[in-house]
């Protein structure tokens, strides 16, 4: 069983997309650079890739391209360890290969000179936000980044964001860093300020994006959200990722991932995200139990 082998970390695929660097940005967030020259050449901010850890039975996991270098031929992905596949991915090391990395998928962010832009990122959402902030800055926008995290330890990409953004505001749920509170607080303040933002882009947990949209709506500030629905193929074939935008069915993988946040039915999207919660937690538990068992056996054999 290929999956079990890759869990143990003894056998990983010998061909595919080589992992060039690997680092932990926080306790459960990993950044990897992967050799993928063609994707690096074609990708634009806002697009995503599909990654698999096993070609026969692995899930197709959509991950936003966090950074890329076309000369050096790599793309960067940042993922949070939340389920079985991301857990497995975290056990891939530098020099290992992901058997499948395909993309770039989705429509690129519509980057232009808007003027004053507020970019809101929550948790792992800061990863896809980073290339967009880079792109916005390159076009001469004034960009304020609002970075949200549960606590200081979970905040990622602070240094990188500070280096490009004009303003950088940190919000933590517990007040362990920056201001205590939700990202919507400074967002509301900015919307009330004069001049108000010309555009807001929000990427993060669905609930955060929903409330960002509710916050900006009364001020009539155009707001984009980058959606992270469940996907299977990621190429428009299955319709699993559909969301209701302005009452119409839209596919996140080919029509998105960014949509006008004021038109997205977030409540339905959140419900649809829970379609497989039961199966997912069972799979994660089984992996963890298996890994614990392997560790125990290894320790026993070392004694």
Partner 1 sequence: MPRFHRDPQILNNEALEILEGLQAKAALTPKDRMAIPLQKPAVLDPLERSQWQDEVEKTYTPAQAVVESMRCLHCKNPNCVKGCPVGIDIPGFLKATAEGEFQKAVDTIKESSLLPAICGRVCPQERQCQENCMIGKAHKDVGQSVAIGKVERFLADWERSQGHSGLEVKPESGHKVAVIGSGPAGLVVAADCRREGHEVHVFEALHKLGGVLRYGIPEFRLPKSVVDGQIETLKKMGVHFHTDYIVGRTRKLQDLLDKDGFGAAFIGVGAGLPIFMGIPGEDYVGVCTANEYLTRANLMGGINPGHSDTPMYRSKKVVVLGGGNVAMDSCRMAKRLGAEEVTVLYRRSRQEMPARREEVEHAFEEGIRFCFLENACAINADENERVKSVTVQRYKLGEPDASGRRRPVPIEGDTYELECDTVLIAIGNSSNPLLTTATPGLELNAKGNVIVDQETGQTSLERVYAGGDIVLGAATVILAMGEGRRAARSINKLLAEK
Closer of 103 and 135 to partner 1 (Cβ): 103
Q: How far is CA 65 from the centre of its chain?
A: 8
Strand order, beta sheet including 258-260: 179-180, 167-172, 142-149, 116-122, 199-203, 223-226, 258-260
One character per residue 49-78, x = contact with partner 1 (rule: CB under 8 A): -x-x-xxxxxxx------------------
One character per residue 213-242, x = contact with partner 1 (rule: CB under 8 A): -------------------xx-xxxxxx-x
Burial label for 42, CB within 10 Å (0-12, 13-18, 19+), is middle
Q: Which position has the token pair 């209701």?
A: 244
Q: Which residues pair with 167 in a beta bridge?
A: 144
Closer of 42 and 198 to partner 1 (Cβ): 42
User: Least distance (Å) from partner 1 to the CB of residue 102?
Assistant: 4
User: Least distance (Å) from partner 1 to the CB of residue 276?
Assistant: 4
User: Least distance (Å) from partner 1 to the CB of residue 81?
Assistant: 15
- Under rule CB under 8 A, which residues in 15-34 are in contact with partner 1? none
Phi then psi dihedrals of residue 111, to 5 deg: -90, 125
Closer of 92 and 168 to partner 1 (Cβ): 92
User: Which one of residues 34, 63, 100, 146 is an interface residue with partner 1 (CB under 8 A)?
Assistant: 100
User: Which one of residues 18, 22, 42, 198 is an interface residue with partner 1 (CB under 8 A)?
Assistant: 42
Task: Tell me the C-alpha distance between 233 and 145, whole Å.
Answer: 32
Q: Which stretch binds partner 1 (CB under 8 A): 103-111, 128-136, 179-187, 289-297?
A: 103-111
Task: Find, among 160, 84, 166, the residue nearest to 126 by Cα.
Answer: 160
Q: Which position has the token pair 């038109």?
A: 263
Q: How many residues bind partner 1 (CB under 8 A)?
A: 47
Is there binding between residue 206 and partner 1 (CB under 8 A)?
no
User: Least distance (Å) from partner 1 to the CB of residue 151?
Assistant: 30
One character per residue 270-299, x = contact with partner 1 (rule: CB under 8 A): -xx-xxx-xxx--x----------------
User: Which one of residues 3, 70, 90, 176 is an interface residue with partner 1 (CB under 8 A)?
Assistant: 3
User: Least distance (Å) from partner 1 to the CB of residue 240?
Assistant: 5
Residues that bind partner 1 (CB under 8 A): 1, 3, 38-39, 42, 50, 52, 54-60, 84-85, 99-105, 232-233, 235-240, 242, 244, 249, 251, 254, 265, 268, 271-272, 274-276, 278-280, 283
């Amino acid at each position: 069983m290929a999956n079990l082998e890759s869990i143990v970390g003894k056998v990983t695929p010998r061909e595919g997309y080589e992992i060039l660097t690997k680092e932990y940005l926080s306790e459960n967030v990993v950044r990897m650079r992967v050799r993928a020259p063609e994707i690096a050449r074609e990708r634009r901010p806002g697009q995503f890739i599909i990654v698999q850890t096993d070609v026969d039975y692995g899930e197709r996991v959509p991950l936003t391209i966090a950074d890329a270098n076309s000369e050096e031929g790599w793309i960067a992905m940042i993922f949070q360890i939340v389920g079985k596949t991301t857990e497995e991915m975290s056990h891939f090391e530098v020099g290992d290969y992901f058997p499948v990395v395909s993309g770039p998928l989705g429509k690129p962010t519509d980057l232009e000179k808007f003027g004053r832009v507020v970019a809101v990122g929550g948790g792992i959402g800061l990863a896809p936000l980073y290339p967009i902030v880079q792109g916005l800055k390159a076009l001469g926008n004034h960009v304020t980044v609002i970075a949200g995290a549960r606590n200081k330890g979970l905040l990622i990409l602070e240094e990188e964001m500070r280096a490009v953004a004009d303003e950088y505001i940190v919000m933590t749920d517990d007040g362990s860093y920056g201001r205590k509170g939700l990202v919507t607080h400074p967002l509301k303040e900015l919307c009330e300020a004069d001049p108000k933002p010309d555009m807001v882009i929000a990427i993060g947990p669905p609930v955060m994006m929903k409330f960002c949209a509710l916050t900006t709506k009364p001020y009539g500030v155009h707001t984009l959200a980058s959606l992270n629905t469940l996907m299977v193929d990621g190429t428009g074939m299955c319709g699993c990722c559909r969301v209701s935008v302005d009452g119409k069915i839209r596919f996140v993988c080919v029509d998105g991932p960014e949509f006008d946040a004021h038109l997205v039915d977030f409540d339905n999207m959140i419900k649809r995200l829970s379609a497989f919660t039961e199966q997912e937690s069972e799979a994660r538990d089984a992996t963890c139990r298996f890994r614990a068992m392997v560790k125990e056996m290894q320790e026993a054999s070392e004694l």
